[in-house]
Amino acid sequence: MVLTPAEKQKRYRENLVKRGLYEFTKAKHAARMKVYRRKLTGLIRTKYLAAHADAQR
């Protein structure tokens, strides 16, 4: 049986939870994104913030 990308991602997250690494992985990603957002400037920053605001609605 071939898994779709969504199913693969779900299985990956489930395995992280089983191994107790899910919270660690989330924190690592949050830190990585914080650095990314801090480095954004100008038009790229405006586009990113607009897309983020839309996603939060």
Q: State the total domains in the chain.
A: 1
Determine the structural domain holding residue 40 and report its residue range: 5-55
For residue 51, CA distances in Å to 23, 27, 33, 42 come to: 25, 22, 15, 15
pLDDT, position 1: 81
Q: How much is the pTM?
A: 0.66
Mean predicted confidence (pLDDT) in 16-32: 96
What are the DSSP calls for 1-47, one per residue?
-PPPHHHHHHHHHHHHHHHT-HHHHHHHHHHHHHHHHHH--HHHHHH
- In this structure, the number of other CB atoms found within 10 A of the CB of residue 22 comes to 14
- In this structure, the number of other CB atoms found within 10 A of the CB of residue 25 comes to 14
Mean predicted confidence (pLDDT) in 12-35: 96
